[in-house]
Structure 1
Amino acid sequence: MSPAPENKQDRRPPYQHAADELRRDILQGRIKRGEQMPAIRELQERFGVANMTIRSALNVLREEGLVYTIHGRGSFVADHDGGDEFSAVYTPPAWYLVKDDKKPSQAEQAEGRPDDAEAAGATLAEMLTALRDEIRALSADHQELRREVEELKAAQQAKPQP
């Protein structure tokens, strides 16, 4: 929970440092699944970086599947499979380890022959992604409603009885 290190040997970009720290918080359970991530402004102050730097860090975590964002609501720690906690052993995703110059260009991809099975798989993957995002949005709405109900119950109990 400290700002970016002043160590000049740490050559990671600031957004990557912030993503690594937030990932560590999630993996160690300081931010629990389903819980809302701190506000961007709060993260800006914590890491001493700009708005877009924090947004880039959240994008990294979103691509890894650790968080999801609901427009106008914020970012939340994603539900996950297998046990109560994420694995404490983190390995970067394969796309992060591959250099951009190794990826085929759009022109090279267009030259390849289209495969109906691949197209169907891509469409199915898009549908599943859209469904997952809808379920996450509904889950976040459900959690928000539960919080509101708890607040209303607490407020009603705090009222003096006549």
Structure 2
Amino acid sequence: MSPAQESKPDRRPPYQHAADELRRDILKGRIKPGEQMPSIRELQDRFGVANMTARSALNVLRDEGLIYTIHGRGSFVADHDTTGQFGIDYTPPAWYLANAPKAPEKAKEPEAKPDDTEAAGATLTDLLTALRDEIRALSADNQDIRQEIAALKARVEADERS
């Protein structure tokens, strides 16, 4: 976190400060795509906050598309490409953009004329987001089924021994 100016203290809630730190860790590659985020208990200890405050920080990152959560497993960093660009639904908050380091500007391309492509893009974005969520849910279901199969195999082996 960047230090607050003495004349103008930062009055954002603690969960925003925690979300800022975690966002920086993700964007700088300290926590890589696919890696599990620290547990709620670890976040409580790291930031000196309450359980719900740590959960709220993760909720902010989830809402931004930086992380996703699998029930019973934890939160994980969302996939992004090698340039650091996250999924199509990632929208950094305005206050983060205002304080983010500026990248060198590239030559601007001529603006496209508005037409039905914007509407089609929004529909495609919604479809891709829904597909991504479905794939994540199916992945979690797949893990659950694998665990059930392993438990059944262990039970069958135990029955055969007795």
Question: Take 1:129 and 1:36, find their aligned partners in 2: how far apart are those partners?
Answer: 21
Is residue 50 of structure 2 the alignment partner of residue 86 of structure 1? Answer: no
The runs of 5 or more residues in structure 2 that have no matched partner are 86-90, 98-119, 144-162
Is residue 19 of structure 2 the alignment partner of residue 19 of structure 1? Answer: yes
Deviation string, structure 1 residues 34-65 (Cα, Å, up to 9, x no partner): 00001111101100101111111111111111
Q: 1:121 to 1:32 in 2, by over 3 A?
A: closer
Deviation string, structure 1 residues 62-106 (Cα, Å, up to 9, x no partner): 11111000111000000024x2x526xxx8335x99xxxxxxxxx
Q: 1:36 to 1:138 in 2, by over 3 A?
A: farther
Shift of 1:136: 3.2
Equivalent positions of 1:111-150 (< 5 A) are 127-137=127-137
What stretches of structure 1 move > 4 A for 4+ residues in a row? 120-127, 137-143
Question: Is 1:34–1:140's contact at 8 Å kept on the other side of the alignment?
Answer: no
Deviation string, structure 1 residues 90-138 (Cα, Å, up to 9, x no partner): x8335x99xxxxxxxxxxxxxxxxxxxxxx9988765543320232355
Q: Secondary structure at the match of 1:36?
A: coil
Shift of 1:15: 0.4
Q: Secondary structure at the match of 1:76?
A: strand
Q: Secondary structure at the match of 1:43?
A: helix
Structure showing greater relative contact order (alpha-carbon pairs closer than 8 Å, 6 or more residues apart): 1
Equivalent positions of 1:1-162 (< 5 A) are 9-81=9-81, 83=82, 85-86=83-84, 92-93=92-93, 127-137=127-137
Question: Take 1:25 and 1:142, find their aligned partners in 2: how far apart are those partners?
Answer: 29
1:13 partner amino acid? P
Q: 1:69 to 1:132 in 2, by over 3 A?
A: same
Q: Secondary structure at the match of 2:68?
A: strand
Percent of matched pairs sharing the same residue:
83
Question: Take 2:138 and 2:30, find their aligned partners in 1: how far apart are those partners?
Answer: 24
Could you state the TM-score of these two structures normalised by the residue count of structure 1?
0.55
Number of residue equivalences: 115
Question: Is 1:18–1:54's contact at 8 Å kept on the other side of the alignment?
Answer: yes
1:78 partner amino acid? A
> RMSD of the alignment, in Å?
3.7
Q: 1:9 to 1:23 in 2, by over 3 A?
A: same
1:67 partner amino acid? I
The runs of 5 or more residues in structure 1 that have no matched partner are 98-119, 144-162
